[in-house]
Chains A and B, each alone.
Chain A
Amino acid sequence: MAAPVLAVSQLHKRYGGQEALAGVDLTVEAGQLVGLLGPNGAGKSTLTKIACGLVRPSGGTGEVLGQPAGSPGARAALGYLAELFRFPGWLSASELLRFHQRLVGSEGGEAERRQLLELVELGDAADKRVEAMSKGMQQRLGIAQALVGSPRLLLLDEPTSALDPVGRRIVRELLEELRRRGVSVLLNSHLLSEVELICDHVAIIARGRLVKAGTPQELAGPTAVVVETGSGVKTFEGARREDAPEIVAELVRGGERVYGVEVRHSSLEDVYLEAVGGETG
């Protein structure tokens, strides 16, 4: 069986007396798009930074394609966009990508640069200087920069924080395209609806611990079956979709007239709020 693209095990990180990560386990498989959720200060960025070698863990292990996180081999396999980033303002978009091509040893040349800029819809801004770009354009350029050299793993820390709705949609479509190409993505985001829409797997971190993980469907499980009967609305808490026919049959056998059935799901937001206990950073 192939090694996961990213695997962290019992990851700990202490900053002085503060524990940022307290034993987190997480894997990202090939072609998987994993959303990492949590309040500010929960440890999401720290986890991402350990994965790309910017931060050294206090304990536990992190591996990228079987190689220790932060090692040259691991760094060669990933692309990263930090939440807070800055590029030299005097470089044009194309020059910035060429600089990163040289750093990763990519031989994609002009064709790769053009393709990446078109992918983030900056095709006509190749010669535009970074300092002349809006924050949203810079963020999309940052994603293109992270994709230089066709990395197997993409680590994105709040990549849509400065984007308007159109920009967010561009990034969403880009991430779906990357999934089709088999690129694995770890996406840190506060935008629950976005994560729910595009991620295959969601991990929720609070106070440095993994408090919930699963597919969006698993997490946003059914909470109740609500039946409208002749004698009023009856709610069956904890019942699943599969339970609905039996519930209806039982009511009918009991002489109730059934007018409607609704299976209620909790949204990812409900799950998130429950998991983090209303905590905010």
Chain B
Amino acid sequence: MNAGALRSAATVVALSIQEGVRRRVFLAVLVLTLAFLGLYALGAHFAFRDVDEFAAGEPKILDPHAFTGATIFGLAMFATLFLGAVLAVFLTLGVVRGDAESGLLQPIVVRPIGRTTMLLARFAGAALLSAAYVVVVYLAAYAITEATGNWGPDHLLGPALGLALAVAIIAALSLLASTVLSVTAQGIVVFMVFGAGLTAGLLAQIGHAINSDSLHTIGRVASWALPFEGLYAAGLHALISGTSGLTGVALQLGPFGGSEAAGPGLILWAFAYLFGVLALAALVFSRRDL
């Protein structure tokens, strides 16, 4: 890519970010995020207080404080992924077909920037905003958990980066959908895919809990087919990977405890998947009449 193309790409990235920040949905997401973090702080405060009172003087087979911290922080990760996915989808809503139908795309595409660079720049804008958002919310949830319960995860940054990559993948899938689907259909399809991924992840979790190979296999296949789910599950696992004994086992069996570590294979696959989805989106876009 030459200097001119880079400058054009940076211009479109900047426009995408400006446009994203100006969208009302961004404001709505910010308000919801503040509401979520407020609620989370309240919940974490009472959860830690009550479990400490409840468990006082009981024999310590399970560490109730760590169990509570990991469970509520796992919940916070789920909420962060959900809100990040909402943001990623809305930032890429109608980017190709919708904008082409409204006449917003043509004045840009006829410029020398080229379709692929334009598409990648739009992706970069949406992915950067969404990834920055999930990292900030994740760290805010961590700060709240640490402040209210004096508990922190076993690994802090790994899950954050996993969440960032997960929302980037969701943004890429949404962008691909926007090359062929109308705005409404795009939103519905991407959220259904998101929901399917999380459901498959829960199935894998249940499979692990009840020792069902079939369910576990289904979950693993889904994690690879939709690696944002695999990254999320791996992030949950990383939160408690250093927690041993019954507490660790109990957490892994719960809804917010990942039973699978990411491993280099999943990370590599997630990046390959991301590039593959973007390449497919670029191919479809390059062949599309506007």
Contacts and interface: CB of A to CB of B under 8 A. Distances in A.
B213 interface: no
A75 interface: yes
Given A99-B11, A99-B15, A54 B106 contact: yes
Contact of A103 (B104, B112, B287): B112
Contacts of B19: 88, 90
B170 to A, nearest CB: 24
Interface string A26-54: 00000000000000000000000100111
A259 interface: no
A88 B110 CA distance: 16
A261 interface: no
A56 B110 CA distance: 13
A72 B15 CA distance: 21
A105 interface: yes
B218 interface: no
What secondary structure prevails in chain A residues at the interface with B?
Answer: mixed
Contacts of A90: 18-19, 22
Contacts of B110: 52-54, 75, 78, 80
B4 interface: yes
Contacts of A104: 111-112
A90 B21 CA distance: 12
Nearest to A89: B22
Nearest to A142: B107
A103 B106 contact: no
Contact of B107 (A49, A72, A100, A102): A100
B102 interface: yes
B193 interface: no
Nearest to A46: B289
Contacts of A145: 107
A90 B26 CA distance: 15
A54 B112 contact: no
Contacts of B102: 84, 86
A103 B111 contact: yes
Given A55-B289, A88-B19, A102-B7, A76 B112 contact: yes
A82 B104 CA distance: 10
B289 A56 contact: yes
The interface centre, meaning the residue of B22, B104, B111, B290 with most chain A CB atoms within 10 A of its CB, is B111
Interface string A170-203: 0000000000000000000000000000000000
A78 B7 CA distance: 19
A87 B104 contact: yes
Contacts of A100: 107, 111
B103 to A, nearest CB: 4
B192 to A, nearest CB: 29
Interface string B80-104: 0000000000000000000000111
Contacts of B109: 53-54
Among B4, B8, B103, B110: residue with most chain A CB under 10 A: B110
Interface of A: 15, 49, 52-56, 72, 75-76, 78, 80-82, 84-88, 90, 99-100, 102-105, 142, 145-146
Given A88-B19, A99-B11, A104-B112, 6 more contacts: A55-B290, A56-B287, A75-B110, A75-B111, A103-B12, A105-B112
Interface of B: 4, 7-8, 11-12, 15, 18-19, 22, 102-104, 106-114, 287, 289-290
Which 6 residue pairs are nearest across A and B when measured between Cβ atoms?
A103-B111, A102-B11, A85-B103, A54-B290, A84-B103, A86-B103
